A and B are shown apart, each in its own frame.
Chain A
């Protein structure tokens, strides 16, 4: 065995890449570097493009992306308006503007599982630098902010970015030195949380930008609140990528590019189906059935389902692999309209 150690490999024709065993690696075919699942907003299992109204709880829009608001009326949905190279974006609309006070919040968020950030070494001396990039388009111009937080929300990094032209797609890039302090989960909990601030009040903001804070801050004091206060304001985002290193490489979906691969990644956190699944007769006059999930869920999920038939529901079995039910007194029980949620 031998090895080479060089900075650049140039092919014989003068290009910048070369083939390795017949394969030419490029920045667009190296799957797995993007930690953001569904960063191009192509998957929308819950809503299929329908609008969602934000409130104080986490309302999912496109898969893995959720928002919340207590200012006026804020809605969001998957959109087909997207920059070149993309088919979808996530559109947030401030249908009715309101006043931004200290306790206000309007935000969009994405949580990356700790298993998918563990290699970054955050919370250790060897913490790696990461680069966040995304395409954004808004009817409001000026300074906006985005934040990175840990699971406990006691480590925060807030950075401003500027939307220069209204209703124009612009790509933003933010490079973040890895956090050498704090507790960063490396399991199936929240590894890194990303927050796009669309109208946080002073309870949630900081004036300290581009450095790590030992507290929970989710927005910048110098970011505009005009989105939240302006009726009809729009904000769109797509092409979200979080990768190791200090360079924003061209967008690559976390699953590598195929719809099926990206859907499977999303289904670790949520999936649904409307088809009917019938029980088997169990014991004397009872029903028992199981639905196996398409992929192992992040955790034992919350299940909403409709069990048809009679009898008495004795138990529902839930684990990261399947959902099951046991009903006594009826042999004709079926299950339909199942929704399975193991979001972070």
Chain B
């Protein structure tokens, strides 16, 4: 399971939290955890929304 992080000061949302270990995963195509997140999305899953 994943959770989106808030939009930052620059107005972008650039990483996602992996809830199992609270890891912060950046949106870098070379990051293997991000690749796993994309596969998870492709399976039809949806991350939890960011906190307001």
Contact = CB atoms under 8 A, between A and B. Distances in A.
Interface residues of B, number: 20
Contacts of B51: 312
B interface, by DSSP: helix, strand, loop or mixed?
Answer: loop
Interface string A292-305: 00000011111111
Interface string B1-36: 000011011000011001001111110101111100
Contacts of A319: 26
B33 A341 contact: yes
Interface residues on A, range: 20 to 34
Contacts of B15: 316, 318
A301 B28 CA distance: 8
Contact of B32 (A305, A316, A343): A343
Contacts of A317: 8
Given A300-B31, A344-B32, A314 B9 contact: yes
A305 B23 CA distance: 7
A319 B10 CA distance: 15
Given A299-B30, A300-B31, A315 B5 contact: yes
Interface of B: 5-6, 8-9, 14-15, 18, 21-26, 28, 30-34, 51
Interface of A: 188-189, 298-305, 312-319, 326, 341-344
